[in-house]
Structure 1
């Protein structure tokens, strides 16, 4: 494929990363905690049952990933068989962007609406990534996939950081924009995310090829989509290195994605940091992650993908250990939190980019890329379901996020030891 096509593919990261940064990581968790808390309580009533507000938020994320895990294998099988990956990518993109924009109307009193829209936005974002990732092996040969994957993530970090800087100014100085308070500024930021995501995605939709293998759908292709998945399961039985990588990926993803989703909530609830400092922390992560994604692309070229991932996991273990030792009573806790954020940034882009390209390299010769990437996606989503459920349950049981952080560290340790069993392949060592 030509350079224009590859750049168009990478540009979807620029478009959609504003969701993962502004909605799932930086502003929405802080806003949700703020509008559902009172001076003396952080409990909310949901279906007649009292919950810690961040526990029910964590559970809602678990639910969204559970839905994606159920539907993505079927949809990707259908997309492979009918050659309509781009159409599915568009559908989930618009579902997510409209849901983000709808969060403008969430003010804390309508908690069912707020949680519902955040769930739909999550489904739209992660559902679209199934089809987005599946384009990678179709537009780039194995030797270019590490660099292209890293380029996508770095473009995403830059684009999302630009919008977050604007949002940060809006939240800190709402009067400059004519807003009544920072809450209104936060709601407008959700609206901007929806517009940005859908708007910039048009570049990707224009440049990506449609139906590379010229497949023509037949009748009952939904059932044939299930059959396609059956073939993938059968092929996985003979791909030992690929299976072992998926086992490791499953466990360390439980840690990575849960940290991303709930880091700002940890700083808010455990350390009492105000929203502007927390958003600044997320910006630190973003800018360090740009360098980190390229650093680990270099390490993977020099020492191999598996070695690069091992280094990432070790750093993640120290991140969890550092977070566990933080205390609100420590006068230097804020600066330690910034240092931990920088460590997260260094390995965040690296582990995501190298994991995606490692999986792509381990795939057998196939035309069913979307079906294979659905297994990658399902592994990640089920991991996040279990990770966020464990996190939420421990918050509900202990009233603190500290024990949850220890659980995440255990997931990273298990993932590391499972990675030792992957071995070598023709593209990965």
Structure 2
């Protein structure tokens, strides 16, 4: 029976992070980008009738396109989901889309099949990010306001833990393929299938317990038009809640920095600092492991100091990371150790800031049944921030020929976010 605040319900909701986070680590960050680069390195690939002499840029464009698609469709679909009470159906659809698309990357086995890799990279990204809109929207429906910081943190803790477990197994296969009687390339392709099976398989635990249509909606045949009406209502409501509007602006600015650093950290380490793949993978694992601790610590810290103060601490730490990265140089002795140190610090606040922003936004929502539509604004804000952040990062790199200036510039966005969040008024649950 459905009961908000039930521990089993919260655990089941949080377990979707365990299921889906293997995509963001294995596919987005660690294994697939390295596999893609190895397959296309020094080659000209053909896609959409054009020859691409820089395949990495094609991959980047594919991800940017997927973010724009999600930013466009999520408000519309979330409006329909709220009107019809079908959040779980949408969440399931995008979970299956993402999982099957990841498994289909197995068919990408050479330059001639780059089109398969790009196409299913787009579909997998859309599946992952769109499912998160509906997943996040369940937070205020499964946890009471005073439970939401810890519930959100629990999700990220599950996610970081599960993704590290699978990544270590995948890396063992890739580094020691002879133990499994396969090649390193085949090991990478098998890891894609494992990610899809893990994602879809463990998601069933969440789907079995999550409620469907808790408000007992009775939609008519005009659900598409009514979905747009729900969206228009929420747009007006957001404008009438200055605290919520300020938080979204602050979240947009900090997301430019956070998401850009997460996406570009490995490239910064390899291109700017000349670090080996082994050093980068060690750093990625360090970040994930320390993020578990960070999410836990800051969920407790927010209980004592309040969400706003806890968030301000994480933002200041991210600014320090930007300044420290600016000072790094490949000529420095033990630069890899400095990079590891930054990775540990970054991991500590990465889990914290992602967890706290989700729960803080949830606490700021007015009394409403339109949770999916509200969280679509949260998601769109993040996606636009990713597109803008990576563009600014790339533009500054092309102008200065140094990623260090690009990283330093991100500190400006964190500073602006800090200033705006400092002006937010306290509410009953956000102090």
> Normalising TM by the smaller chain, what interval?
over 0.9
1:133 matched to 2:136? The reply is yes
Per the TM alignment, residue 399 of structure 1 is displaced from its structure 2 partner at its CA by 5.5
1:94 is matched with 96
- Distance of 1:252 and 1:314 partners within structure 2: 11
- Distance of 1:144 and 1:71 partners within structure 2: 30
Contact persistence 2:329–2:335 (CA under 8 A): yes
1:36 is matched with 40
2:310 to 308, 311, 333: 308
1:153 to 156, 171, 174: 156
SS of aligned partner of 1:211: coil
1:162 matched to 2:165? The reply is yes
1:12 matched to 2:16? The reply is yes
Contact persistence 1:55–1:395 (CA under 8 A): no
CA deviation map 1:374-411 (0-9, x unaligned): 11111111111211233344455566533432332222
Match runs of 1:1-400 below 5 Å: 1=3, 2-38=6-42, 48=50, 52-109=54-111, 110-181=113-184, 183-395=185-397, 400=402
Per the TM alignment, residue 331 of structure 1 is displaced from its structure 2 partner at its CA by 3.2
Per the TM alignment, residue 53 of structure 1 is displaced from its structure 2 partner at its CA by 4.2
- Distance of 1:171 and 1:322 partners within structure 2: 33
CA deviation map 1:43-90 (0-9, x unaligned): 867664656444443332221111100000011111111011000000
SS of aligned partner of 1:366: coil
Contact persistence 1:54–1:392 (CA under 8 A): no
Cα distance change, pair 320–58 in 1 and its aligned pair in 2 (3 A)? farther
Moved more, 324-333 or 69-78: 324-333
CA deviation map 1:92-127 (0-9, x unaligned): 001111111112222451333222211211111110
SS of aligned partner of 2:368: coil
Moved more, 256-265 or 367-376: 256-265
- Distance of 1:366 and 1:409 partners within structure 2: 35
Per the TM alignment, residue 190 of structure 1 is displaced from its structure 2 partner at its CA by 1.4
In structure 1, stretches of 5+ residues that fail to align are none
Contact persistence 1:78–1:225 (CA under 8 A): yes
- Distance of 2:187 and 2:274 partners within structure 1: 21
- Distance of 1:23 and 1:164 partners within structure 2: 10
Moved more, 338-347 or 404-413: 404-413
TM-score of the superposition, structure 1-length normalised? Answer: 0.94
Cα distance change, pair 407–102 in 1 and its aligned pair in 2 (3 A)? farther
Moved more, 122-131 or 321-330: 321-330
TM-score of the superposition, structure 2-length normalised? Answer: 0.94
- Distance of 1:321 and 1:58 partners within structure 2: 26
Moved more, 209-218 or 394-403: 394-403
Contact persistence 2:52–2:58 (CA under 8 A): no
SS of aligned partner of 1:426: coil
In structure 2, stretches of 5+ residues that fail to align are none
Contact persistence 1:306–1:419 (CA under 8 A): yes
Contact persistence 1:30–1:265 (CA under 8 A): no
CA deviation map 1:10-39 (0-9, x unaligned): 10000000001111112222222332223x
Cα distance change, pair 117–402 in 1 and its aligned pair in 2 (3 A)? farther
Contact persistence 1:59–1:392 (CA under 8 A): no
Moved more, 254-263 or 90-99: 254-263
Moved more, 193-202 or 97-106: 97-106
Moved more, 155-164 or 381-390: 381-390
Moved more, 238-247 or 117-126: 117-126
Cα distance change, pair 407–413 in 1 and its aligned pair in 2 (3 A)? same
Per the TM alignment, residue 424 of structure 1 is displaced from its structure 2 partner at its CA by 1.2
- Distance of 1:46 and 1:269 partners within structure 2: 26
Cα distance change, pair 375–283 in 1 and its aligned pair in 2 (3 A)? same
Per the TM alignment, residue 282 of structure 1 is displaced from its structure 2 partner at its CA by 1.1
Contact persistence 1:51–1:396 (CA under 8 A): no
Per the TM alignment, residue 166 of structure 1 is displaced from its structure 2 partner at its CA by 0.6
- Distance of 1:31 and 1:318 partners within structure 2: 32
How many residues align? The count is: 425
Per the TM alignment, residue 138 of structure 1 is displaced from its structure 2 partner at its CA by 0.8
CA deviation map 1:334-388 (0-9, x unaligned): 1111111101110011001110010011111111111111111111111112112
